[in-house]
A and B are shown apart, each in its own frame.
Chain A
Amino acid sequence: MSRIASLLRASLAGIVLAAFAFALIGPLANLVLWSVAERWYTPYKLPVTYGTRYWEQVFRPTGDAMASLGTSVSIAVLTVVVALALSVPAGYALARLKLPVRALFMIVFLLPQAFPSVAIYINVARIFYNLGINGTVLGVVLVHAAHGLVYSVWIAAAAFAAVDRDLELAARNIGASPLRTFFTVTLPLAAPGVIASGIFVFLESLDEFTGTFFVGVPQVTTLPLLLYNAAMGGNYQVASITALILLVPSVLFMLFIERFLRADVLAKVGA
């Protein structure tokens, strides 16, 4: 009797694990399969011809994909610069300010998330059009930065809050100016969190679709837009390869978080 029960439990655990693995790996496997399928049509469960033709097409120096990748990365880097330039001072202020100013400050940064993004981006596009920065890299960077700030300010505030006040006072005490203290003590200690927030902004920018679509099209084509065009055109191979390229930085980021970010910083996120 108990043997049947344990057998039942084992098979149930097996099924749950398999379902989990399928949910996790299934879509990835599908992407990989599509990226190497040169011909694949309906009656067949697997591709008819395999090959790396589309990979070559994507990575050809003159290809659209490489150009889009270049655009995406440069926009992402600029976005990180803009976001950090704002989130480092804002995060420090948030970490050291007292309520209720702190709450007000936080709401300002969280507000963009409270509305449907399409509604916001249509208005942004309208304003940017009047300013003449619609369809420019600058416009896209600003949209991405506004979106990324929500997270980067939050994470930076947590990183600064985890730096013990006494460590700063100790530097002031033996003669360091507030600015010197910030750059020699506070910032180095908060660096892992600040870097993590930068990487997060980078990834968000790399992935961003809606804002780029409204503000950047047609002059600025980022990787997600290319993926969208390819998928709309029925070119699943290029779409799959683009999606796989977009995955790489996310995985690297997870590894970084796991390796460098202290638990006490993570615990202060959202506190």
Chain B
Amino acid sequence: MQAETQGVSCAGAAIQVRDLHVAYGGTPVLHGVSLDFAPGTFTALLGSSGCGKTTLLRSLCGFVPVRSGSIVVGDRDVALLPPEKRGMAMVFQSYALWPHMTVLQNIGYGLKLRGTAKTEITAKVASLLAMLGLSGYEERKVTALSGGQRQRVALGRALAVDPGILLLDEPLSNLDAKIRMTMRHEIRAIQQRLGVTAIHVTHDREEAMTMADRLVIMQAGRIAQIGTPEEVYDRPASAFVANFMGAENVLPVHVARSADGTAVSAGAAVARLADHDATALPAGEAVAYFRDDAASLDAPDAAPQGDLLVPGRIAARSYPGGLYRYRVEAAGRQITIDDTARHEPGAAVGLRIPVRRLHIFPATEAATAA
């Protein structure tokens, strides 16, 4: 491994983005984004399409003009510099390999620009190809490569210039599922080995969580939450983030505070909480979000034992493998539940939901969540 990475050294650079405003035509896309990237970290920009994550990436590397704000790399503001002066290397969603060049010419292009000697270019490209598992592919035409191989060549081309910053624009979205899994680990491993600062744009939650040290969830041109994968997944800051991170079941609840504690109720079902669990909960009408695997099915008349036990009826059942997936009608909503036990459609059941696993937000905020 040591020998393979010889000659490839990307010391990661720090980036500070301050109050970045970007517009396409007259339409504002980013409304004042401020974000820090520490050297050598792997950050994923995550959000649904149109949230501005790709625009943020493209404005970092200079493809999209910045209306106001600053992008400081190291100690200089690059916001107004052309793309070639920013010291960032991008891997494109479409790979953007040059079809009239060989693999060697594609990867060596940036080195040739910098006036590197031909023998040195050949040596460096060979070591990069070895790292990417493509040894001996120098003279191939890029049009003769498979999707996964093109992806690696695109990565090699970006890394060849020893960038401080590696930008990844949905690089895995055109690959089939199996290669995508392998590439996730490979890109992550290479980033760790080289210590380059990586910024990865994706709409795939799992991809972001498995690859990145830190997630930045974006919503409508603003940052909705920044945190480690665990923080964002387990403690979403808003209804939008909870929903986006997979807590797709929605249950209207009422939170009441009284002298003897806090009560969360959904219809007739009530669960009481000890005070130290409940201080963050909003009082009054609220909406609870939870994941398919947070709840389980029980008898409709089972003892609540501190959980919310909401009566419902099974509307449909499917078997995605390992456990059953039920669609349950409860509290006037369709709720998806995973459970190991087999129940028949039409049966009356009780949804057992541990209150700790609910993400509860005020009803007013939930109305604005996408």
Chain B residues with CB below 8 A from A174, complex form: 84, 89, 109-110, 113, 157-158, 160-161, 163
A189 and B113 within 8 A (CB): no
B352 to chain A minimum Cβ distance, whole angstroms, is 51
- B-facing mask of A158-177, CB < 8 A → 1, else 0? 00000010110111111111
Of the candidates A170, A172, A175, A189, which one forms a contact with B114 in the assembled complex, judged by CB atoms under 8 Å apart?
A175
- A100 vs B79: C-alpha distance when bound (angstroms): 29
B108 to chain A minimum Cβ distance, whole angstroms, is 11
Chain A, interface SS category: helix
Which segment, of B95-103, B299-307, B332-340, faces chain A? B95-103
For this complex, into which size category does the number of interface residues on chain A fall? 10 to 19
Q: Which of B63, B83, B92, B113 has the most CB of A within 10 A?
A: B83
- A166 vs B92: C-alpha distance when bound (angstroms): 8
B232 to chain A minimum Cβ distance, whole angstroms, is 29
Chain A residues with CB below 8 A from B157, complex form: 170, 174
Considering only CB atoms and an 8 Å cut-off, how many residues of chain B contact the other chain? 25
A176 and B84 within 8 A (CB): yes
Chain B, interface SS category: loop
Chain B 37-71 residues near chain A, CB threshold 8 A: 61-63
**CB of B358 within 8 A of chain A?**
no
| Contact A175/B84 with A166-B92, A169-B63, A170-B92 known, Cβ cut-off 8 Å | yes
Chain A 131-179 residues near chain B, CB threshold 8 A: 164, 166-167, 169-178
**CB of B90 within 8 A of chain A?**
yes
**CB of B239 within 8 A of chain A?**
no
- B-facing mask of A245-264, CB < 8 A → 1, else 0? 00000000000000000000
Chain A 205-228 residues near chain B, CB threshold 8 A: none
**CB of A106 within 8 A of chain B?**
no
- A173 vs B58: C-alpha distance when bound (angstroms): 10
B102 to chain A minimum Cβ distance, whole angstroms, is 13
Chain B residues with CB below 8 A from A169, complex form: 63, 83, 90, 92, 96
- A27 vs B163: C-alpha distance when bound (angstroms): 66
| Contact A173/B114 with A166-B96, A167-B98, A189-B98 known, Cβ cut-off 8 Å | no
A175 and B92 within 8 A (CB): no
Of the candidates B82, B92, B94, B113, which one forms a contact with A180 in the assembled complex, judged by CB atoms under 8 Å apart?
B113
Of the candidates B63, B83, B89, B100, which one forms a contact with A189 in the assembled complex, judged by CB atoms under 8 Å apart?
B100
B83 and A173 within 8 A (CB): yes
B174 to chain A minimum Cβ distance, whole angstroms, is 13
**CB of B255 within 8 A of chain A?**
no
Chain A 166-207 residues near chain B, CB threshold 8 A: 166-167, 169-178, 180, 184-185, 188-189
A261 to chain B minimum Cβ distance, whole angstroms, is 15
**CB of B88 within 8 A of chain A?**
yes
Q: Which of B62, B88, B92 has the most CB of A within 10 A?
A: B92
- A74 vs B109: C-alpha distance when bound (angstroms): 38
Of the candidates A166, A167, A170, A175, which one forms a contact with B113 in the assembled complex, judged by CB atoms under 8 Å apart?
A175
Closest A residue to B100 by CB, please name it. A188
A171 and B109 within 8 A (CB): yes
A173 and B89 within 8 A (CB): yes
B109 to chain A minimum Cβ distance, whole angstroms, is 7
Chain A residues with CB below 8 A from B96, complex form: 164, 166-167, 169-170
Chain B residues with CB below 8 A from A170, complex form: 90, 92, 96-98, 157
Chain A residues with CB below 8 A from B62, complex form: 172
Chain B residues with CB below 8 A from A176, complex form: 84, 109, 113
Of the candidates A173, A177, A178, A180, which one forms a contact with B90 in the assembled complex, judged by CB atoms under 8 Å apart?
A173
- A175 vs B109: C-alpha distance when bound (angstroms): 9
B83 and A177 within 8 A (CB): no
Chain A residues with CB below 8 A from B90, complex form: 169-170, 173
B94 and A164 within 8 A (CB): yes
- A-facing mask of B333-349, CB < 8 A → 1, else 0? 00000000000000000
Q: Which of B82, B96, B97 has the most CB of A within 10 A?
A: B96
- A166 vs B110: C-alpha distance when bound (angstroms): 16
26 residue pairs A–B, Cβ–Cβ below 8 Å: A164-B96, A166-B92, A166-B94, A166-B96, A170-B92, A170-B96, A170-B97, A170-B98, A170-B157, A171-B98, A171-B109, A172-B82, A173-B61, A173-B84, A174-B84, A174-B157, A174-B158, A174-B160, A174-B163, A175-B84, A175-B110, A175-B161, A180-B113, A189-B98, A189-B99, A189-B100
Interface of A with B (CB < 8 Å)? 164, 166-167, 169-178, 180, 184-185, 188-189
Q: Which 3 A-B pairs have the closest CB atoms?
A: A174-B110, A166-B96, A170-B96
> Can you name 10 extra interface pairs (CB under 8 A) apart from A172-B62, A174-B163?
A164-B96, A167-B96, A169-B63, A169-B90, A169-B96, A174-B110, A175-B84, A175-B114, A176-B109, A178-B82
